[in-house]
Chains A and B, each alone.
Chain A
Amino acid sequence: MFEIVNKETLGPNVTRYEIKAPRVAKSRLCGQFVIVRATEHSERIPLTIADVNTETGTITLIVQTVGKSTLEMTTLQKGGYFADVAGPLGQPSHIAKYGTVAVIGGGLGTAVVYPQAVALREAGNKIVSIIGARTKELVILEQLLGSVSDQLIVITDDGSSGKKGLVTDALRELVENPQTKVDAVYCAGPVIMMKAVAELTRPMNIPTIVSLNPVMVDGTGMCGGCRVTIDGKRKFACVDGPEFDGHKVDFNELMDRLKTYKGHENKKYEEHKCKLLQGNK
């Protein structure tokens, strides 16, 4: 059992949890994730560790409500418990001194790139962050990411916050501007966005690191469910990743494999929402 020592709503459907997990907090390096189960009958889901506090032995997770498991998680309160938190898992981020790094977070991907921005800045890089979201309410961690960035660009599909457009529009402006040389890109978010970013940087040979989010069960390389194709070779995102060279990822395959349980997830989500509504009556 892992105690929730703090819980905070960051936006519609986005919640930040601080959880007591001393072993994880002690070992975690930037870029690693945990697999959690909210309750005894929950599925195992991977979540990036956004931050740790080694003194209090706590880790921070930022969760977006997208299905039953994450919806159920929101019913857990401060002082309550996660049934299971296992980790830290995956390879740590490759952090180096590039010069200027564009750090791009799409939606919840912002929680994935935030710790990278912290580490990249500590390594002496100039950080230009881009947060992309559909609309204003879905922009998360703006202040936090801004505090570790030399420049922060917010861009929304509908223009309700920052510029109007896609993250690739903002990135294109940066890379085409002779004053702002971009030496590397770190990117996390919807697969379609990561693909578009990688396609944009490919002709310019800008190193582009993407963080992949396939379906996982154990997170230790045992089930192979998270297999992705990198440069034509099979890799397990849980142990070989989750970060890979964006120019080598087969994004189409990943997008397709992510559809595997869509039907099941929608059904469970609707059932659970009904249950919650009935409970409130």
Chain B
Amino acid sequence: MSSEPNKLTAKERMAIPRQQMPQRDGIERSRDFKEVNLGLAEQVAIREAQRCLQCKNPKCVEGCPVGIDIPGFAKLVAEGDFLAAAELIRKDNDLPAVTGRVCPQEIQCEALCVRCKSGAPVAIGWLERFVADYQMNHRVSPQARLGVQKTGKKVACIGSGPAGITCAGQLAKLGYDVTVFEAFHKAGGVLVYGIPEFRMPKKIVDAEIRNLKALGVNIETNVIVGRTVTIPQLMNDEKFDAVFIAVGAGLPEFMNIPGENLKGVYSANEYLTRANLMEAYNPESDTPIIRGKRVCVIGGGNTAMDAVRTSKRLGADESIIVYRRSRKEMPARVEEVHHAEEETIRFEMLTAPLEVLGDKDGWVAGLKCIRMQLGEPDASGRRRPVPIPGSEFVIDCDLVIVAIGIGANPLLTKTTPGLKLNKWGYIEADENLMTNIPGVFAGGDIVRGAATVILAMGDGKKAAQNIHKYLSR
């Protein structure tokens, strides 16, 4: 093989098999909170990047919600210029170390990779993660755009999750005076309260928040917009010229079945917030968490996977996913389901909970379920699960975690007079992400309903562009 990577012929590139991401042993890792994936070695990353055929009309880019120049950065990785690759990604994506870990690449960029036709796609997510980590480990902060002309205008981003910090970063680079308001005591939103350490190490989020501050963004924690201060107050009294609402969805759904208020039933939001943000797994932390021995997690999304894998790490003997549809309909990323299986998580598919059973002291003692079968497709296009009469059974357990989705939290929307919402309580925004209130923009889950980190970031970027346009009129 040629020593000059970019002189490789297409045939030579095609001959390289997809490289493997090294990961920790399933049993070993399921007892601690250290990261599961270990990242690619430099030579492995170069070899994987060489697999990219440098398509003239790259489909992968179309599959990326923020349109990263994927062949461009893969070429730089293949050449060994990892820092240049990182900078190229950062033109379109402010959080590559995050998205390289949590994006569902298999249904986005990698799904459209031309190499899918004859084998495996280029491991775009792993390469993205590799270059972002390389940049971080070499203590090179992303190029500061020094000497940016200040616009003299103020923008407030409400929420410090993926949408809020992306928007804030973009606007700071354009010369705006940006303040991010966060309700919790720590910035990062779902990246710190929701996604566990073993999938998204907090030091990565912390580094990105530091990058944001280095750009001059002001972050105010402990501010609950809607309570501590309202949007009209921000605009009228504090003279913000525009506001971006990126508060997330943030209202836990419950099943409305008997026994849901027994001791030992958590929403996934509560369970994960205790475990992640409040670090309940750390003996030094004062925040308590119920450590179940047999844990049932209800739901089939990424949040359910995060919760069930967390319960194992908090000492459960058996952790069980209870999902009413079949494996095929599970919305979780393929990798998360696979990792959960490696960690000996049990899957009870086509199973719906009927009642949480309690003991004489009001603690959870079991989950009464019924088996389901798939019927006709429903509105979501997925086959509707229907109960099989007489198939009721009980799973013994001492902890139940409800991870069946979230709704729109009304705290901010109710305290913003005149803000137009849809019938589910989500904010209505136009194609420029502006709401019906001039100067007030919105994006991420509070507009879309529960979606992904990368879609929220895409909204943050788009909102920043449109806020810039709006304020440059």
Where the two chains meet, the residues of A that have a C-beta atom closer than 8 Å to any C-beta of B are 23-24, 27, 37, 41-44, 68-69, 72, 83-89, 217-225, 227, 229, 234, 239, 253, 256-257, 259-261, 264-265, 268
Contacts and interface: CB of A to CB of B under 8 A. Distances in A.
Contacts of A227: 254, 261
Interface string B277-304: 0110000111110100000000000000
B84 to A, nearest CB: 38
A221 B228 contact: no
A24 to B, nearest CB: 6
B263 A85 contact: no
Contact of A222 (B222, B252, B256): B252
Contact of A221 (B223, B284, B411): B411
Contact of B411 (A23, A69, A220): A220
Given A23-B229, A220-B183, 10 more contacts: A37-B185, A41-B279, A44-B287, A83-B185, A86-B222, A220-B250, A221-B410, A223-B269, A260-B264, A261-B288
B362 A223 contact: no
Contacts of A89: 224, 227
B409 interface: yes
B93 interface: no
Given A41-B286, A43-B287, A239-B411, A224 B270 contact: yes
Contacts of A44: 185, 278, 287
B251 interface: yes
Q: Mostly helix, strand, loop or mixed at chain A's interface?
A: mixed
Given A23-B228, A27-B229, A225 B270 contact: yes
A149 B290 CA distance: 44
B134 interface: no
Nearest to B264: A260
Interface of B: 183-185, 221-224, 227-229, 250-252, 254, 256, 261, 263-264, 266-267, 269-270, 273-274, 278-279, 284-288, 290, 362, 409-411
Given A68-B286, A224-B252, A265-B288, A217 B278 contact: yes
B224 A253 contact: no
A42 B287 CA distance: 7
Nearest to B248: A222
Q: Which one of A83, A84, A224, A227 has the greatest number of beta carbons of chain B within 10 Å?
A: A224
Q: Which one of B227, B251, B264, B267 has the greatest number of beta carbons of chain A within 10 Å?
A: B227
B183 A217 contact: no
Given A222-B273, A225-B270, A87 B227 contact: yes
Contact of B286 (A217, A220, A268): A268
Contacts of A225: 266-267, 270
Contacts of A87: 224, 227-228
B286 A223 contact: no
Given A86-B228, A223-B270, A218 B184 contact: yes
Nearest to A89: B227
Contacts of B184: 86, 218
A44 B227 CA distance: 18
A86 B224 contact: yes
A223 B288 contact: no
9 contacts: A27-B229, A41-B284, A42-B286, A86-B222, A89-B227, A217-B278, A218-B183, A221-B251, A224-B252
Contact of B224 (A42, A220, A264): A220
Nearest to B280: A43
Given A23-B223, A24-B228, A268-B286, A221 B250 contact: yes
**CB-based closest 8 A-B pairs:** A223-B270, A264-B288, A86-B222, A84-B185, A224-B267, A43-B287, A224-B252, A261-B288
A253 B261 contact: yes
Contacts of A257: 261, 263
B185 A222 contact: no
A217 B270 contact: yes
B451 to A, nearest CB: 17
Contact of A43 (B264, B278, B409): B278
B180 to A, nearest CB: 15
B270 A221 contact: no
Contacts of B264: 260
B9 to A, nearest CB: 54
A222 B286 contact: no
Nearest to B284: A41
Contacts of A229: 261
A277 B57 CA distance: 71
A41 B285 contact: yes
Contacts of A222: 250-252, 269, 273, 409
A270 to B, nearest CB: 13
A24 B285 CA distance: 26
B261 A27 contact: no
Contacts of A84: 185, 221-222
Contacts of A221: 250-251, 409-411
A218 B185 CA distance: 10
A200 B251 CA distance: 36
A227 B223 CA distance: 23
Contacts of A264: 288
